[in-house]
Structure formats: structure tokens, C-alpha cells
Amino acid sequence: MKRELAEAARDLSAYIKALDENLAELPHPGVKVRPVSAPAAPAAERPLPVPATTMNKQPPADMDSLALRVKKCRKCQLGHARLNAVFGVGSYNAKVVFVGEGPGFQEDHKGEPFVGRSGQLLDKILETVLGLKRSDVYIANIVKCHPMKNPETPEAHGNDRPPTPEEISACRPYLDEQLRAIKPACIVTLGSVATKVLLGIDKGISLVRGHWYDYPVELFGPGHPIKVLPTYHPAALLRNSNLKRDTWEDMKMLKSFLETGKIS
């Protein structure tokens, strides 16, 4: 037992050191760290949308054609201001899908989710705790276009805002289609907004994380829920390094589930 505890402590300190080194290496673009997913989101304070889809009897969408539909989508106002739709990235055979709130400045410019400092930190966490690369998992957001405070200025920094319930409702079916096509064993929700939207639990992330839940939408029929593990958004770790230990514990739970198929 003592030996196991010593090993766990060694792993944790190696992980924290790796993240600290990573943070030191990350480029500072000359602007303040952008709160990609500020927990104090107006969307979280407003009524949450009901799950967008129930059991869909159609065959799962082809991901490439779905990506094309998203690229052309103008179902909500975000589609008119975005520079790029941000569909998702990673393996279509992934066992785990990481879901954030929505694209920010960097993501809008590159058309890829979780780039910039919080994306680099997510990559580092995947590598150090799970031994995985970004291409081994799948990463997506609840909404696929950049929610901006001022849609007239997509080139401005500090222009991010959380998505509204209407925008979430409009975009949510795309995420469920992605999940139906990938058929992952589990989802990791990153941050309060993604967690509240996907699980419908109206509590802060610090109270919800560290536990497994069942995804409330029956994508694969009754009795086959996708497991959901909420954790902090990497941007929250950039703001508060005290959250690293909890995140490490969450990722160890995920690693155990991916390796054994069992919830510990």
C-alpha cells in the first residue's frame, strides 16, 4: 500500500512538473490569456436547453458529409460572423470524445478546436497522463462557430462570449451526430458549460467532476448509455494551477476506464 501511494505521488508530481514546464514553454501572443470557457457564463445562468435529439433511427451520418454541412451551416447567427466553422478533430474510431463549449479566437482562425494555450495544455495532459496523442481521441465543441460579443470584429481579441441557449439548441444535433458516428465509450466534458449542457446538471464543475454519469440522450438505444466524465476546462488550469491535482485524478479515472472498460 505504501509503495502504491509513493508511486501515485511520484506520478502526480511528474505530471504537475510536466504541465508547469509546458506552461513555461507556451508562447504568449502578447495578449492576456483568453478565458476560452469562462465558468461565469451567462449561458449557464439561463435555462439550459433540453437534449436536442432522442434516439435517431437513421444510420449515423458520414462524418465528412456532416463536416461539409457544418461548414455551410447558417442555422444560427454565429454562422454569419465566424471566420471558420470548427467541426472537430481526431480519430473517428476514438474511444473517448472531449467536448468543450465553443471555438474562440484562435480556433475561429484555424478552424480547429482547442488550439492556442489551452489546446496545448490539453495535448500535454493527454500525453502525460493517458499516453495519447490528439489524433488518438476526438475533440469537439458544443457549438461549431465562434460566439463573439461583437460579430462585426472577428479579428479582435477579447471578443469571446459563451453561446446562448438558442445557439446551443441550434448546433447540438451536430454533436450528437458526431457521437453516433464515432460511437465512443465515453465523453469527457471540459468545463461547466459543456457539462451543464450535456448532462443537464445545474451545478458548478467543482461539485460535478470526479464522478461518472450516463449521457442522458439515448444515441444507441435503451441500456447503452455513453459514460460521461466532467472535468475542468484547460483554460481554468491556466488561470488556477491548484486545479491540476483534481484534473490529474479525473484523467486517472479516464485512463482506468479506457484500459479496463470498468468504472473505478
Q: Binder to ligand SF4 among 16, 23, 67, 75 (CB under 6 A)? A: 75
Rounded CA separation 83/66 (Å): 18
The helices-and-strands tally (H runs, E runs) of the chain is: 11, 6
Rounded CA separation 218/140 (Å): 19
Cα R_g (the chain), whole angstroms? 18
Q: Which is nearer to ligand SF4, 80 or 262 (CB)?
A: 80
Scanning 27-35, 150-158, 165-173, 255-263 for contacts with ligand SF4 by CB under 6 A, the matching segment is: 165-173
Q: Binder to ligand SF4 among 10, 74, 149, 211 (CB under 6 A)? A: 74
In 3-state terms, what secondary structure has residue 180?
Answer: helix
Residue 70 in contact with ligand SF4, rule: CB under 6 A: yes
Residue 79 in contact with ligand SF4, rule: CB under 6 A: yes
The residue type at 28? H
Residue 112 in contact with ligand SF4, rule: CB under 6 A: no
Task: Give Cβ neighbours of residue 194 (< 8 Å, ≥ 6 apart).
Answer: 37, 99, 100, 101, 141, 142, 230, 233
Residue 171 in contact with ligand SF4, rule: CB under 6 A: yes
Rounded CA separation 191/206 (Å): 9
Residue 73 in contact with ligand SF4, rule: CB under 6 A: yes
Residue 85 in contact with ligand SF4, rule: CB under 6 A: yes
Interface characters, 118-157, with ligand SF4 (x: CB under 6 A): -------------------------xxx------------
Instruction: Report the relative pairing of strands 96-100 and 138-141 from DSSP bridges.
Output: parallel
Contact positions with ligand SF4 (CB under 6 A) in 172-211: none
Q: Which is nearer to ligand SF4, 171 or 208 (CB)?
A: 171
Scanning 13-21, 163-171, 229-237, 249-257 for contacts with ligand SF4 by CB under 6 A, the matching segment is: 163-171
Q: Binder to ligand SF4 among 36, 48, 170, 188 (CB under 6 A)? A: 170
Cell numbers for 255, please give them.
485512463
Do residues 174 and 242 touch, judged by C-beta distance below 8 A?
Answer: no
Rounded CA separation 81/166 (Å): 16
In 3-state terms, what secondary structure has residue 122?
Answer: helix
Nearest residue to ligand SF4, scored by beta-carbon proximity: 79
Residues near ligand SF4 (CB under 6 A): 70, 73-76, 78-79, 85, 143-145, 167, 170-171
